[in-house]
Amino acid sequence: MTGILFALAAALIWGIGNVWIRIALQEMRPTTGAVFSLFVGLLLLFPLALLLHWDDVTSISAGVMGTIFLYGMANFLMGRFLNYSSISRIGLNRSIPIVASSPLFALILAVMFLDESVNAFIVLGTVTVMGGILLIVTDRR
């Protein structure tokens, strides 16, 4: 039950956070919004990471650091910047559902590079996501 409550809290917090950035982006560029939001987010997360996992932080190998760097580029540089740029151009309601389809692209990459297998659930989910995106993109109003 605790896990479910934390998961729901995450969904709610991310939801309201997207509204707040939508408001901010009316008066600042997506790049600035992304850098500033990352800075403030770090003020919350990095001390927690140091406090709880000091030994892990101080013993990371160069190879793992390289993977973390690539992860940071994909998620916090490209992902967040492109996400905010999209919100700035087409608004929250059109952008967020499309951005939220990322597990579909993760799956495609995992199938391509990690030999992950595809089953009936995955095919059904993919068709459903594509249908949803199509509905949003073809909305002319």
Beta carbons within 8 Å of 96's beta carbon, 6+ residues apart: 18, 87
Following DSSP, what letter does each residue of 8-55 receive, concatenated?
A: HHHHHHHHHHHHHHHHHTTTS-HHHHHHHHHHHHHHHHHHHHHHHHHH
CB of 29 to another protein, least distance (A): 5
CB of 2 to another protein, least distance (A): 5
Residue 114 per-residue DSSP state: S
Q: Is 40 in the site for another protein (CB under 8 A)?
A: yes
Interacting residues with another protein between 74 and 113 (CB under 8 A):
74-83, 85-86, 89-110, 113
Count of residues interacting with another protein (CB under 8 A): 118
Q: Is 62 in the site for another protein (CB under 8 A)?
A: no
Q: Is 115 in the site for another protein (CB under 8 A)?
A: no
Q: Is 37 in the site for another protein (CB under 8 A)?
A: yes
Following DSSP, what letter does each residue of 45-63 receive, concatenated?
A: HHHHHHHHHHHHHHT--HH
CB of 112 to another protein, least distance (A): 10
CB of 91 to another protein, least distance (A): 6
